[in-house]
Amino acid sequence: MEEHKSINFIEEIVEQDLKDGKYKSIITRFPPEPNGFLHIGHAKSICFNFGLAIKYNGKCNLRFDDTNPETEKTDYVNSIKTDIQWLGFNWDAEYYASDYFDQLYNFAIKLIEKDLAYVDDSTSEEIANLKGTPTSVGSDSPFRNRAIAENLELFKDMKAGKYPDGSKVLRAKIDMKHHNMLMRDPIIYRIKHAHHHRTENKWCIYPMYDFAHGQSDSIEQITHSICTLEFVPHRELYDWFIQQLDIFPSKQYEFARGNMSYAITSKRNLLKLVNEKVVSGWDDPRMPTISGLRRRGFTPQSIRLFWEKVGIQKRENLIDVGLLEFCVREELNKISLRRMAVLDPIKLVITNYPADKTENLSAENNPEDENGGHRSLAFGKELWIERDDFMENPSPKYFRLGVGLSVRLKHAYIITCTNFDKDENGNITAVYCTYNPDTKSGQDQTGIKVKGTIHWVDVKTANTAEVHLYDRLFTVENPGMEEGDILEYINNDSLKIIKNAMIEPSLSEARKEDYFQFVRMGYFCLDTESSADKIKFNRTVTLKDNWAKKK
């Protein structure tokens, strides 16, 4: 029996449309409003829209939905383009809803001429009051039956700038008693004497979303206009405009947005985190923004894999952030350069090693990559090791150092702990050991087996670096659903700064585009603010740690 590939409901529609010859090829689009930064949720839409075009050999446009001049900026346009490209996608055409303002205006005229739109002088409160509620019908505006000629005249005067903001609107004439509130004579044009990031001061009237989005789709001959579930009620209006205007019949399909645990994606709350200085900015590595994830060290591939695994569906969801972490570990395990860094150092002294001796050891860059090559590591009498790798009173399951216990120093020798120093506060200040010269890595013939291997950095050649350890930003799984202020659920330990981590010398030459695994500690990358005299690393994610779970 032939293997049945599982496709989602939208792909089913696409395949059917293609099979029926409804379209020769498909065109999708990603339609961000340039009023903020893209986040992990947008990535789902990006992956899906661009992915569909790739899979079915169609096209995908980038279209900025810039119909509200008061909130939109060219800066956002640029950040959005950067993020999409970083994710690995290329758009076929770059468009702006504002490119269509003239056509949209003419569409509005056409509607007025068909007596399907009218100018309303009511205030926004009056309009809201007459609109009714979801459970009760609305009623007609006193301006609803203006003559076509008068509407035409007034609308032209609106465009000419004869009226102040908010004094008049153009509304579609549909049905004030419609069960769908969006069909109750929706506003399609409003007056805003505002500077637009692209059309500058050409216009003082701007179309609303519902009068711009579908028509823009139609102008671009978008075959499958894919959006999130909250637009389901808009579909009826979307179709109505296209039908009344008799233009290319783009079709809207909706899927559920993806929510991730311990994260928020509402623009309002994201902005709040930035404004309240809970985070350092939109690209703070704890932010679920694309720029934040990038700075944190997530790879584009891992984000694409994540959304591929999640799939497309129509039900509410809360995806475990652990899945994203799994995806990034999976890729980083294959591509990252292994390096050694000691985050919480204590000194280890090898008592039987000559004080003036230095050896250069060979260390593989990546055991998962045969062609990964090797680097040279200096080794000497005094080393930095992790404080956690020594215990004064080790438990039987502890496979690291304690008096009488042996471990291998990664890429070097097997050592046995002999004693240690402690200060008056009970803190360990130094650990002493002896090494076995016959156990050198790669040429060990002794057959001695040890339970643990620990990482280290040579004291004489080590450099220091600042390392940022990140944890989830929120203390609750679904912060967006909690009552009250989002700030009440901030995890105060989401950032731990280590000022003086000891790093092996080769890490001083790290480049911004490198991905590292600090052996046994996790995946790291250089921070965007890192400089030659102040090296800064970000921890992307820890390694899986069975020992931590057992403890």
Partner RNA sequence: UGGCUUAUGGUGUAACUGGCAACACGUCUGAUUUUGGUUCAGAAGAGUCUAGGUUCGAAACCUAGUAAGCCAACCA
CA–CA distance, 138 with 178 (Å, rounded to integer): 8
CA–CA distance, 480 with 472 (Å, rounded to integer): 14
Q: Which of residues 92-131 bind RNA (CB under 7 A)?
A: 122-124, 127-128, 131
Establish whether 257 is a catalytic residue: yes
Q: Which of 247, 412 has the CB closer to RNA?
A: 412
* Catalytic pick among 192, 257, 387, 536: 257
x/- mask, RNA, residues 231-270, rule CB under 7 A, reads xxxx---------------------x-x------------
**What's the closest the beta carbon of residue 216 comes to RNA, in angstroms?**
10
CA–CA distance, 43 with 37 (Å, rounded to integer): 11
Establish whether 511 is a catalytic residue: no
Interaction between residue 335 and RNA (CB under 7 A)? no
Q: Is 447 left (phi over 0), alpha (psi -120 to 50) or beta?
A: left
x/- mask, RNA, residues 63-82, rule CB under 7 A, reads --x-xx--x-----------
Range in contact with RNA (rule: CB under 7 A) among 42-50, 54-62, 77-85, 539-547? 539-547
x/- mask, RNA, residues 269-308, rule CB under 7 A, reads ----------------------------------------
The amino acid sitting at 237 is: L
Backbone angles phi, psi at 467, to 5 degrees: -125, 130
Query: What percent of the residues of the chain are helix, what percent strand, and what percent coil, each to the nearest 5?
Result: 30, 25, 45
Applying CB under 7 A, among 109, 152, 310, 378 the residue interacting with RNA is 310
DSSP-based three-state secondary structure for 327: helix
Q: Which of residues 25-54 bind RNA (CB under 7 A)?
A: 31, 33
Positions of E strands within 229-358: 251-255, 337-339, 341-342, 345-350
Query: How many C-beta neighbours within 10 Å does residue 320 have?
Result: 12
Contact 250, 227 (CB under 8 A): no
Interaction between residue 397 and RNA (CB under 7 A)? yes
Backbone angles phi, psi at 15, to 5 degrees: -65, -40
Binding residues for RNA, total number by CB under 7 A? 98
CA–CA distance, 62 with 90 (Å, rounded to integer): 9
Report CA 326 to chain centroid distance, whole Å. Answer: 15
DSSP-based three-state secondary structure for 160: helix
Interaction between residue 86 and RNA (CB under 7 A)? no
CA–CA distance, 10 with 303 (Å, rounded to integer): 21
Range in contact with RNA (rule: CB under 7 A) among 50-58, 161-169, 241-249, 347-355? 161-169
* Catalytic pick among 73, 131, 267, 536: 267
Applying CB under 7 A, among 166, 373, 404, 437 the residue interacting with RNA is 166
Q: Which of 158, 510 has the CB closer to RNA?
A: 158
Q: Which of 284, 390 has the CB closer to RNA?
A: 390
**What's the closest the beta carbon of residue 36 comes to RNA, in angstroms?**
10
CA–CA distance, 457 with 54 (Å, rounded to integer): 47
Q: Which of 440, 539 has the CB closer to RNA?
A: 440
Q: Which of residues 406-425 bind RNA (CB under 7 A)?
A: 408, 410-412
Q: How far apart are the first and last CA of the chain?
A: 48
Q: Which of 534, 548 has the CB closer to RNA?
A: 548
Establish whether 267 is a catalytic residue: yes
Interaction between residue 187 and RNA (CB under 7 A)? yes
Q: Which of residues 449-478 bind RNA (CB under 7 A)?
A: 452-455
**What's the closest the beta carbon of residue 178 comes to RNA, in angstroms?**
9
**What's the closest the beta carbon of residue 52 comes to RNA, in angstroms?**
14
* Catalytic pick among 33, 364, 382, 466: 33
Interaction between residue 213 and RNA (CB under 7 A)? yes
Residues sharing a CB contact under 8 Å with residue 472, sequence separation 6 or more, in sequence order = 262, 263, 286, 321, 491, 494
Report CA 397 to chain centroid distance, whole Å. Answer: 39
Active site members: 33, 257, 267
